[in-house]
Structure 1
Amino acid sequence: MASSNFVDYVKIFCRSGKGGAGSAHMRREKFVPKGGPDGGDGGRGGHVIIKGSRNHWTLLHLKFQRHIFAGHGMSGGAQGSFGSQGEDKTIFVPLGTIAKNAETGEVICEITEEGQEFVLAPGGKGGRGNMHFKTSTNQTPRYAQPGLEGIEVAVILELKVLADVGLVGFPNAGKSTLLSVVSAAKPEIADYPFTTLVPNLGIVNYRDYKSFVMADIPGIIEGASDGKGLGLRFLRHIERNSILLFLVPADADDIAKEYQILLNELKMYNPELLDKQRLLAISKCDLLDDELIAEIKHQLPEIPYTFISSVANLGITELKDMIWKALDESNKDMID
Structure 2
Amino acid sequence: MKKSNSFYGYSLILALFMLFLVARSQLTTDFYKTTCPNLLTIVRKVVQNAIKTEMRMAASLIRLHFHDCFVNGCDASILLDLSDGEKFALPNLNSVRGFEVVDNIKSSVENACSGVVSCADIIAIAARDSVLLSGGPTWKVLLGRRDGLVANQSGANNGLPSPFETLDIIIKKFADVGLNVKDVVSLSGAHTIGLARCALFSNRLFNFSGTGNPDSTLETNMLSDLQNLCPVNGDGNKTAVLDRNSTDLFDNHYFQNLLNGKGLLGSDQILFSSDEAKTTTQSLVQSYSTNSALFFADFLNSMINMGNISPLTGSNGEIRKNCRVVNS
TM above 0.5:
no
Q: TM-score under structure 2 normalisation?
A: 0.27
If each structure's helix is expressed as a fraction of its own residues, which one has the higher value?
A: 2
If each structure's strand is expressed as a fraction of its own residues, which one has the higher value?
A: 1
Larger Rg belongs to: 1
